[in-house]
Chains A and B, each alone.
Chain A
Amino acid sequence: MKKVKFTDERLIQLLKQAGATFKLSASDKGILKAELMDVIKTGPDRIKRGSRKVAYQFSRRKYTMPLIPIIIAALIAIGGGTAALADSAKPGDFLYPVDQWVERFQERVTWTDEAKAGLLARFSEERLQELQALLEIDPEQLQERARERWRAHKEMATEHLAESVERANMVRERFEGRLTGVTDEDEQVEIQQVIDTMDEIIARREQRMEEVESSEFPGAGQVPVRQQVQQWTRENQETMEQVREQIQEEFGDEMPGFGAGEPGQHGKGQSSVDPAIALLPQSPIQLPVADGLVEAQQEWQKRVAETGQQIAAKLAEVLEQVDPFEDPNRLPQPELLVEA
């Protein structure tokens, strides 16, 4: 079937045709007029200039009126739906900053220690899930996935903005309607301030909507946030493993937590495992290396090895200064390392 092209001229013509279909018949018009004139003859109250009735009703809300645009703006800006959608966002997603903002907000408004602990535990779970989701993405599919997500977010953002503009317009029109019924100048000024504020909000959202609608997919150069995160994750794990191996190689069984025995068996019955070292992975994690990252990985490994050697040298230097009568399994305190 041939697709009809709706040019501006064609759309205008169709609108005019549509308008022509809505006609008030002569009989209906006559009935309406007769009814209207009857009502008018019964003498309905006509609004007089300077009517105080409307003014009094409005003045009861005088003190709450200035807050209304602020509340409306906050509601539009926060929007429960956006926050809910943002909750599932991952690093690199359009709504991820919103997710982070909502979490910070929740943390601030949570007062009791128990509740805060529960909240932070949930956030930690979310971080782990985000990390897992990022690791599961095939780098080769990142571009297409990013494009799809970008398109979906663009549509969603446009839709949200259009809805917010419509809501703001509705509010504006209500106040504009009230303005026609108010004669008191002070009240007119107050209402006009609300209308002006709404105009600003509407203009900002319309401008933002135009920007969103006209935006193009940023392309390969600006998308690899997830690739970057993946790389950082691998580097972090590799670094920890390298450092651990370097320390173990330098000190062998002298270092608690790395000897033949189980962690916690050193130090004459007391737990001598440094919590920081205990967090190091106990076995290397094998992860695929994306194309183009091999050289970067090798360079990073070289740097990690150098860093490990430097740390080992510092450790040896500090250990030499330890009192020989002290427990040989005693670890140098972290602050000594910092000072050194």
Chain B
Amino acid sequence: MKNEELNKLAARTQNGDEQAFGQIFDVLSDRIYKFLAFRVKNPADAQDLTSQVFLEAWQSLPRYNPSRSFLPWVFSIARYKLIDHYRKFRSTVSLDAVMDLAGDTDIQVEAEKNADVVRVLQALDRLPELYQTVLKLKFVEELEYSEIAEITGKTENSLRVIVKRGLDKLRQIL
């Protein structure tokens, strides 16, 4: 779905259209879940956070400015939820948790197929939060720099520097 269509759905949801909000969930829940699970590495936590993100989006939509893109707005909420989650549970999340992912994600099978993926995930965990977020949004979510700029509040030039330095840091850790 294109951003313009999403924006229209968001405008309808602003006025209380639950069906439109359901469509937004259908379209974006996978991407939001992936963004969250990438960091928390625990499917249950990621699902819980996904619910929280959409609930907050529903509650905050009256404040959403329709002239701006909806997608970065939702990712902003997801990012703050993630930061809050880590502030509360920082000490309870282990890097090794990536190997404990089970159930529908099949991460263990995938990890065995490609150990480098696990190494990259572990290396990514060692980067500052901003670097992790930018790399994920750029290469996993494949968002444009302009969209990431809206989410992070950084300029596009600054984001290009962060991406380059983030990749350099990953390489150093690996």
A interface residues (Cβ-Cβ under 8 A, vs B): 4, 6, 8, 11-12, 14-25, 27-29, 32-33, 35-37, 39-41, 44-49, 162, 165-166, 169-170, 172-174, 176-177, 180-181, 183, 195, 210
Check if B110 sits within 8 Å of A33, measured CB to CB: no
Q: Give Cα distance in the complex from A247 to B3, angstroms.
A: 92
8 Å CB contact of B170 from A11, A29, A44, A46: A11
Contacts of B174 in A (CB 8 A): 6
- Given A11-B167, A23-B30, A33-B26, A40 and B117 contact (CB-CB distance below 8 Å): no
Instruction: Work out how many contacts link A and B, with CB atoms closer than 8 A.
Output: 142
Q: Give Cα distance in the complex from A21 to B41, angstroms.
A: 11
Please classify how large the interface on chain B is, using the bins under 10, 10 to 19, 20 to 34, 35 or more.
35 or more
Contacts of B38 in A (CB 8 A): 18-19, 22
Query: B47 an interface residue at 8 Å Cβ cutoff?
Result: yes
Q: What are 17 sample pairs from A and B whose C-beta atoms fall under 8 A apart?
A: A8-B167, A15-B124, A18-B117, A18-B140, A19-B141, A21-B106, A23-B104, A24-B30, A33-B29, A36-B25, A41-B18, A44-B55, A46-B59, A47-B59, A166-B128, A170-B129, A172-B153
Check if B62 sits within 8 Å of A48, measured CB to CB: yes
Contact indicator per residue, chain B 101-140, by CB within 8 Å of chain A (1) or not (0):
1011111001100101100110010001110000110011
| Chain B residue at smallest Cβ distance from A174 | B83
8 Å CB contact of A17 from B59, B114, B153: B114
Query: B145 an interface residue at 8 Å Cβ cutoff?
Result: no
Contacts of B107 in A (CB 8 A): 21-22
Q: Give Cα distance in the complex from A25 to B43, angstroms.
A: 10
**Known contacts A22-B33, A40-B21, then 19 further A-B pairs from the complex at CB < 8 Å, ordered by chain A residue:** A4-B116, A11-B167, A12-B139, A14-B116, A19-B34, A19-B136, A19-B139, A19-B140, A21-B105, A22-B105, A23-B30, A23-B104, A28-B47, A35-B51, A36-B58, A170-B87, A174-B83, A177-B80, A181-B60
